[in-house]
Amino acid sequence: MKLEKPVDGGPCWTELGTSDLEAAKRFYAELFGWRPETDPRQEAGGYTVAHLGDAAVAALSPLYQESQPVAWNVSFAVPDADAAARKVTEAGGTVLVGPMDVFDVGRFTVALDPGGAAFQMWRARAFPGAGLFNAPGALGWVELMTRAPERAVGFYTSVFGWSVNSSEHYTQWGIDGADFGGMVMMDDRFPPEVPPHWLPYFAAADVDATAGVAVGAGGTVLMEPTSVPDGPRIAVLRDPQGAVFGVYRAGDEQ
């Protein structure tokens, strides 16, 4: 990712909704060396921020609704949460939650794009988002998995003003040309029951070793470590509760 800090329109945070918070804390602490800190306030509902050193890098939380899937979610920074929600609706998306205030830290929205992929928007106040990108254990790329790529391009460029860098094999998203993510067309390799979604990728010093640690900790390798031609070495993993995420070799940022 060419972004080093949260900027308007770019990914600023990622959080896991999980069916077993304590197990997730143990798994990701072993995998990435995260130090989890759970908000003790009852109204925070067990929301847990993971740190690398002093930097907040991701969050883990219980499932807050019966319909909420076990999954990683990606948040994008916006300068005005209410205006962004209106843009989502005008561009053919759906607002599911909010905009709503989260204590004094920011204003939050959950939405669906026209293809059905969920994402979040964050208007920062006291909390800007991740304090570290592209380092081992930190967020370094986000990828949209969709069955409607043309609609996705029209939607996200309208809502966030992203730049689009397309080649024959891959489309990359950016802010003024600073690429932070990409898009994959969900073809027959994806079972029909797998919904469109955003997939976060975390940097790793050694992708192969990280995949091995994940398996040893009860996770699953969905895509074996692979070197992308003219790109990074990557793998796609699933944690013991079923949440899917990617890893890539740190230093291979696009």
| Same domain as 197, residue 120 | no
| Same domain as 81, residue 34 | yes
* Residue 75, domain member (yes or no): yes
Distance CA 46, CA 40 (A): 7
For β-strands 178-185 and 139-146, DSSP reports them as parallel
pLDDT tens, N- to C-terminus, the chain (254 residues): 888 999 999 999 999 999 999 999 999 999 999 999 998 888 888 899 999 999 999 999 999 888 889 999 999 999 999 999 999 999 999 999 989 999 999 999 999 999 999 999 999 999 999 999 999 999 999 999 999 999 999 999 999 999 999 887 889 999 988 999 999 999 988 999 999 999 999 999 999 999 999 999 999 999 999 998 878 999 999 999 999 999 999 987 65
- Total of domains in the chain: 2
Query: What local confidence, expressed as pLDDT, does residue 68 receive?
Result: 86
pLDDT tens-digit readout, 148-192: 999 999 999 999 999 999 887 889 999 988 999 999 999 988 999
pTM of the shown model: 0.95
Distance CA 11, CA 84 (A): 14
C-alpha distance from residue 244 to each of 12, 214, 232 (Å): 19, 12, 19
The domain that contains 110 carries what CATH number? 3.10.180.10
Question: Which residue carries 């909390």 as its tokens?
Answer: 127
Strand partners, 139: 202
| Same domain as 147, residue 68 | no
| Same domain as 155, residue 56 | no
Q: CB under 8 Å, gap of 24 or more: what pairs does 32-39 form? A: 32/136, 32/137, 32/202, 32/204, 33/137, 34/58, 34/137, 36/60
Distance CA 159, CA 87 (A): 5
| Same domain as 148, residue 221 | yes
| Same domain as 231, residue 190 | yes
Distance CA 109, CA 200 (A): 18
Distance CA 30, CA 92 (A): 41
Q: Which domain holds residue 22?
A: 11-124
| Same domain as 205, residue 143 | yes
| Same domain as 195, residue 159 | yes
| Same domain as 109, residue 15 | yes
Strand partners, 236: 223, 246
